[in-house]
A and B are shown apart, each in its own frame.
Chain A
Amino acid sequence: VIPVENVRLLDRSSGQRKASVGTLYLSATHTIFVENNPETRKETWVLHSMVSSVDRPPSTPSGSQLVLRCKDFRVYQILVPQERDCVDVHASLVRLSRPEKYSELYCLSFNPSVNKEEREASWSFIDLMADYKRMGVPNNLWVSTTVNNEYRVCDTYPSELFVPKSASTGVIVGSSRFRSRGRFPALSYFHQDTLAAVCRCSQPLSGFSGRCQEDELMLQAVMKSNPGSDYIYVVDTRPKLNAMANRAAGKGYENEDHYTNIKLQFIGIENIHVMRSSQQKIIDVGEMRAPSMSDFLWGLENSGWLKHIKAVLDAGVFIARAVADEGVSVLVHCSDGWDRTAQACSVASILLDPFYRTLRGFMVLIERDWVSFGHKFSHRYAHLDGDPKEVSPVIDQFLECVWQLSEQFPCAFEFNERFLITLHTYIYSCQYGSFMGNCQKERRDLRLRERSHSVWPQLWKDRSDYTNPLYQAEQSQSQGVLKPNTSPFYFKMWKGLYNHVEKSVPPRQSPADYLSAVREESQQLEEELTNHQEVAPGGTAHQHQHHQPGSRQGIQHNTPPPPPPPPTNLEIPPV
Chain B
Amino acid sequence: MEFSEHIKTANVEDVVLRQPLHPPSRGTLCITGHHLLFSDREEGSSRQVLLLLRNIDAIEKRTSGSSGTITIKCKDLQVLQLDIPGMEQCLNIAHSIETLSCLDSVSEMYPFFYRPADLSLQDQWGLSSPESYYSQMKELHGRWRLSSVNRDYSVCPSYPPAVIVPNSIDDDTLRKVAKFRQGGRFPVLCYYHRKNGMVIMRSSQPLTGANRKRCKEDELLLQAVIDGSDKGYIIDTRSSQQAQQARMTGGGFESKSCYSHWKRLHRQMERGKALQESLIKLVEACGDESNNMDRWLSKLENSKWLSYVQTALSTAGLLAECVERDGHSVLVHGSEGTDSSLLISTLAQLIMDPCCRTLDGFLALLEREWLQAGHPFQQRCAHSAYSHTRLQQESPVFLLLLDCVWQLWRQFPLALGFSEALLLRLATEVYASDYGTFLCNSDQERCAVGVKDKTHCLFQALLRPREKDYYSNPLYEPTELAIWPSVHPQSLQLWRGFFLRWTQQIRHLEEAQEEIRNMVIEWGKLALS
**A residues lining the B interface (CB < 8 Å):** 286, 290-298, 300-301, 304, 306-307, 310, 408-411, 469-470, 472, 475-477, 484-493, 495, 499, 501-502, 505-506, 508-511, 514-515, 518-519, 521-522, 525-526, 529, 541, 544, 549, 552-553, 557-558
B512 — which chain A residues lie within 8 A by C-beta?
A: 410-411, 470
Docked Cα-Cα span, A286 to B304, in Å, equals 20
Starting from the known contacts A477-B511, A508-B411, 4 additional A-B residue pairs (CB-CB under 8 Å) come to: A290-B488, A301-B298, A470-B519, A472-B515
State which size class the interface on B falls in. 35 or more
Q: How far is the CB of A40 from chain B (nearest CB, A)?
A: 25
Query: Does the CB pair A541–B529 fall under 8 Å?
Result: yes
Query: Does the CB pair A529–B529 fall under 8 Å?
Result: yes
Whether B21 is near chain A, meaning CB under 8 Å from some CB there, is no
Q: Could you list 14 A-B pairs, sorted by A, with CB under 8 Å?
A: A296-B489, A296-B490, A297-B306, A297-B489, A301-B293, A301-B294, A307-B293, A410-B508, A410-B512, A470-B515, A477-B508, A489-B499, A493-B490, A509-B414
Q: How far is the CB of A473 from chain B (nearest CB, A)?
A: 13
Q: How far is the CB of A130 from chain B (nearest CB, A)?
A: 31
Whether B496 is near chain A, meaning CB under 8 Å from some CB there, is yes
B503 — which chain A residues lie within 8 A by C-beta?
A: 485
Q: How far is the CB of B184 from chain A (nearest CB, A)?
A: 36
Q: How far is the CB of B141 from chain A (nearest CB, A)?
A: 33
**B residues lining the A interface (CB < 8 Å):** 286, 289, 291-298, 300-301, 304, 306-307, 310, 411-415, 475, 477, 484, 486, 488-494, 496, 499-500, 503-505, 508-509, 511-512, 515-516, 519-520, 522-523, 526-527, 529
A294 — which chain B residues lie within 8 A by C-beta?
A: 301, 304, 307
Q: Shortest 10 CB-CB distances between A and B: which pairs?
A: A296-B489, A488-B296, A410-B512, A301-B297, A297-B301, A307-B293, A293-B307, A525-B526, A511-B413, A488-B293
A475 — which chain B residues lie within 8 A by C-beta?
A: 511, 515
Docked Cα-Cα span, A485 to B73, in Å, equals 23
Docked Cα-Cα span, A292 to B308, in Å, equals 11
The answer to whether residues A470 and B291 also contact, given A485-B504, A518-B523 and a CB cut-off of 8 A, is: no
Query: Does the CB pair A297–B300 fall under 8 Å?
Result: yes
Docked Cα-Cα span, A541 to B526, in Å, equals 11
Of chain B, the residue at the smallest CB distance from A553 is B477
The answer to whether residues A490 and B511 also contact, given A298-B301, A509-B412 and a CB cut-off of 8 A, is: no
Q: How far is the CB of A39 from chain B (nearest CB, A)?
A: 26
Of chain A, the residue at the smallest CB distance from B412 is A509
B496 — which chain A residues lie within 8 A by C-beta?
A: 489-490
Of B310, B490, B512, chain A has the most CB atoms within 10 Å of the CB of B490
Query: Does the CB pair B504–A297 fall under 8 Å?
Result: no
Query: Does the CB pair B529–A491 fall under 8 Å?
Result: no
B523 — which chain A residues lie within 8 A by C-beta?
A: 518-519, 521-522, 525
Of chain A, the residue at the smallest CB distance from B492 is A293
A487 — which chain B residues lie within 8 A by C-beta?
A: 289, 291, 296
Of A291, A297, A484, chain B has the most CB atoms within 10 Å of the CB of A297
The answer to whether residues A293 and B306 also contact, given A502-B486, A509-B412 and a CB cut-off of 8 A, is: yes
Of chain A, the residue at the smallest CB distance from B298 is A301
Query: Does the CB pair B291–A522 fall under 8 Å?
Result: no
Contact of B491 (CB < 8 Å), options: A477, A502, A541, A552: A502
Query: Does the CB pair B486–A552 fall under 8 Å?
Result: no
Docked Cα-Cα span, A553 to B477, in Å, equals 8
A495 — which chain B residues lie within 8 A by C-beta?
A: 490-491
Of chain B, the residue at the smallest CB distance from A301 is B297
Query: Does the CB pair B527–A549 fall under 8 Å?
Result: yes
Docked Cα-Cα span, A515 to B490, in Å, equals 24
Docked Cα-Cα span, A501 to B307, in Å, equals 20
Query: Does the CB pair A488–B297 fall under 8 Å?
Result: yes
Docked Cα-Cα span, A335 to B168, in Å, equals 82
B491 — which chain A residues lie within 8 A by C-beta?
A: 495, 502
Q: How far is the CB of A191 from chain B (nearest CB, A)?
A: 23
Query: Does the CB pair B516–A511 fall under 8 Å?
Result: yes
Of chain A, the residue at the smallest CB distance from B292 is A488
Of chain B, the residue at the smallest CB distance from A296 is B489
Q: How far is the CB of A345 from chain B (nearest CB, A)?
A: 23
Query: Does the CB pair B511–A549 fall under 8 Å?
Result: no
Query: Does the CB pair A544–B529 fall under 8 Å?
Result: yes
A505 — which chain B residues lie within 8 A by C-beta?
A: 486, 488
Docked Cα-Cα span, A292 to B307, in Å, equals 8
The answer to whether residues A509 and B415 also contact, given A409-B508, A469-B519, A475-B515 and a CB cut-off of 8 A, is: yes
Contact of A490 (CB < 8 Å), options: B301, B490, B505, B526: B505
Q: How far is the CB of A229 from chain B (nearest CB, A)?
A: 27
Query: Does the CB pair A502–B488 fall under 8 Å?
Result: yes
Of chain A, the residue at the smallest CB distance from B504 is A485
A293 — which chain B residues lie within 8 A by C-beta?
A: 301, 304, 306-307, 310, 489, 492
Q: How far is the CB of A472 from chain B (nearest CB, A)?
A: 7
Docked Cα-Cα span, A505 to B488, in Å, equals 10
Docked Cα-Cα span, A521 to B490, in Å, equals 33
The answer to whether residues A518 and B488 also contact, given A293-B306, A508-B411, A549-B527 and a CB cut-off of 8 A, is: no
Docked Cα-Cα span, A505 to B487, in Å, equals 11
Of chain A, the residue at the smallest CB distance from B527 is A549
Of chain B, the residue at the smallest CB distance from A476 is B511
Of chain A, the residue at the smallest CB distance from B301 is A297
Query: Does the CB pair B519–A519 fall under 8 Å?
Result: yes
Of chain B, the residue at the smallest CB distance from A519 is B519
Query: Does the CB pair A526–B286 fall under 8 Å?
Result: no
B415 — which chain A residues lie within 8 A by C-beta?
A: 509
Docked Cα-Cα span, A30 to B293, in Å, equals 41
A296 — which chain B residues lie within 8 A by C-beta?
A: 489-490
B300 — which chain A residues lie within 8 A by C-beta?
A: 297
Query: Does the CB pair B515–A291 fall under 8 Å?
Result: no
Q: How far is the CB of A145 from chain B (nearest CB, A)?
A: 40
Docked Cα-Cα span, A485 to B295, in Å, equals 17
Query: Does the CB pair B519–A522 fall under 8 Å?
Result: yes
Query: Does the CB pair A485–B413 fall under 8 Å?
Result: no
B293 — which chain A residues lie within 8 A by C-beta?
A: 301, 306-307, 310, 488, 491
Docked Cα-Cα span, A224 to B486, in Å, equals 58
Contact of B526 (CB < 8 Å), options: A304, A411, A492, A526: A526
Q: How far is the CB of A221 from chain B (nearest CB, A)?
A: 35
Docked Cα-Cα span, A495 to B411, in Å, equals 13
A544 — which chain B residues lie within 8 A by C-beta?
A: 529
Contact of A509 (CB < 8 Å), options: B413, B489, B508: B413
Query: Does the CB pair B526–A522 fall under 8 Å?
Result: yes
Contact of A515 (CB < 8 Å), options: B494, B519, B526: B519
Query: Does the CB pair A301–B301 fall under 8 Å?
Result: yes
A514 — which chain B residues lie within 8 A by C-beta?
A: 413-414, 475
Of chain A, the residue at the smallest CB distance from B308 is A293
B306 — which chain A residues lie within 8 A by C-beta?
A: 293, 297
Of chain B, the residue at the smallest CB distance from A407 is B509
Docked Cα-Cα span, A488 to B286, in Å, equals 9
Of chain A, the residue at the smallest CB distance from B415 is A509
Query: Does the CB pair B490–A511 fall under 8 Å?
Result: no
Q: How far is the CB of B324 from chain A (nearest CB, A)?
A: 15
Docked Cα-Cα span, A441 to B209, in Å, equals 84
Query: Does the CB pair A511–B475 fall under 8 Å?
Result: yes
Of chain B, the residue at the smallest CB distance from A532 is B529
Query: Does the CB pair B511–A411 fall under 8 Å?
Result: yes
Q: How far is the CB of A188 from chain B (nearest CB, A)?
A: 27
Query: Does the CB pair B297–A300 fall under 8 Å?
Result: yes
Query: Does the CB pair A489–B296 fall under 8 Å?
Result: yes
Docked Cα-Cα span, A307 to B290, in Å, equals 13
Q: How far is the CB of A268 from chain B (nearest CB, A)?
A: 12
Query: Does the CB pair B414–A522 fall under 8 Å?
Result: no
Of chain A, the residue at the smallest CB distance from B484 is A506
A491 — which chain B residues lie within 8 A by C-beta?
A: 293
Q: How far is the CB of B195 from chain A (nearest CB, A)?
A: 19
Of A298, A476, A508, A510, chain B has the most CB atoms within 10 Å of the CB of A508
Docked Cα-Cα span, A166 to B509, in Å, equals 46
B304 — which chain A residues lie within 8 A by C-beta?
A: 293-294
Of B488, B511, B519, chain A has the most CB atoms within 10 Å of the CB of B488
Of A477, A502, A518, chain B has the most CB atoms within 10 Å of the CB of A518
A529 — which chain B residues lie within 8 A by C-beta?
A: 526, 529
